[in-house]
Structure 1
């Protein structure tokens, strides 16, 4: 099948599994894709498993303003042909946290340059770049990535600054990454606990709550 035929075939599968209730609920929450079939992730993974990974198909799917196409693009994109500049172009096109999260989980974390991009994106001023940076870092830490001294200092610096920022989405993603850092071991937990203590009574919106959640993780190690 050529690219056009494959895309047509994939959209046919979407119609079979459409869930109007979920789709409607997402629309009410402000997710205004051109099309949203409301298909759950396990089902989308099943659909993706029926196709070979293919660069052209994934790129064509990503260009569609359809929720399921964007998710499948991340599942069908081969890692070896997904160059750093394409990763940036995809993030520029992101509008919803769900897509940032699933693309980080299904594709970004497996890239050979994932670590470099995580640091580059965390330091970016743009909301979705920061969001993906911290989501990707959380994934790498969960997979057991150990940061050297310099990388750790840079990560903690970025995460603590973002935690106290006004940008709600990156703020929450930074908190998640800090939690994943804390559970890597006693030293990490102790270091983080010390850094967070002054923020417990922060008057900035949401900061106190997020700090309390992270501290719960760090206290497990005490």
Structure 2
């Protein structure tokens, strides 16, 4: 994270750019969207409710500068954080930076955009997947969804191995049992993708363990996974 002095210097350097961004965000603000996101549990200190398509268009007019991206990432503004991900380059992204961003994710929306915009495209995505599992994020936090969101995108890659999934099984089971439906759902979709694209990986032991410990909706998803893995390929 930037020190106070460096942050102040960066703020001054990019003052005009940030002012123009704020102006564009105010023009595109949507109170209804902001309210609906808050009801869905997407809590931001400031949320203009600007949709992703409009943010994507705005990002095209911004400098692809890492300093600007870092500055916006640390703003308590939803749109600034998302724009930060949109202007970063995977060509210069390092493993350390990727993990730092992962650790600082505060909402499920940002988690999804971080994976979609950056992590899945990083040249070290395979190693990053292992590192995210090793992080063992608290299952109640948005960061806990990151390895599964990334797994969904890498499911067909050779880097996704039976060994990796076996080592991650305790973490997968723990996260699958999280009380919110989103966690079990994102894990379910990731494993469905693996089962579809990598029939050479036997997911049966993992799926049976999920079924033996899950309850309610999570148990239903686990049962569906077992039925899927038993289907002839």
Same fold (TM over 0.5): yes
Cα distance in 1 for partners of 2:204, 2:226 equals: 6
- 8 A contact 1:23–1:36 mirrored in 2: yes
- 8 A contact 2:72–2:83 mirrored in 1: yes
* 1:74 to 1:158, Cα distance in 2 relative to 1, 3 A: farther
* 1:158 to 1:43, Cα distance in 2 relative to 1, 3 A: farther
Q: Tell me, yes or no, if structure 1 residue 41 matches structure 2 residue 52.
A: yes
Cα distance, 1:42 vs structure 2: 1.8
Across the aligned residues of Structure 1 and Structure 2, the Cα RMSD in angstroms comes to: 2.7
1:139 to 147, 153, 158: 153
Cα distance in 2 for partners of 1:137, 1:23 equals: 29
Cα distance in 2 for partners of 1:107, 1:30 equals: 24
Between 61-70 and 116-125, the greater mean CA deviation after superposition: 116-125
Instruction: Please list the CA deviations of residues 34-59 of structure 1 after superposition, one character each: whole Å capped at 9, or x if unmatched.
Output: 21111222222122122242211111
Map 1:155-174 → 2, pairs under 5 A: 155=168, 157-158=169-170, 160-162=172-174, 164-166=176-178, 168=180, 170-174=183-187
Instruction: Please list the CA deviations of residues 152-173 of structure 1 after superposition, one character each: whole Å capped at 9, or x if unmatched.
Output: 5435x25643355436454443
| TM-score normalised by length of structure 2 | 0.78
Unaligned runs of 5+ in 1: none
Counting matched residue pairs gives 216
Between 194-203 and 42-51, the greater mean CA deviation after superposition: 194-203
Unaligned runs of 5+ in 2: 1-12
Cα distance, 1:148 vs structure 2: 4.1
- 8 A contact 1:115–1:137 mirrored in 2: no
Q: Tell me, yes or no, if structure 1 residue 70 matches structure 2 residue 84.
A: no
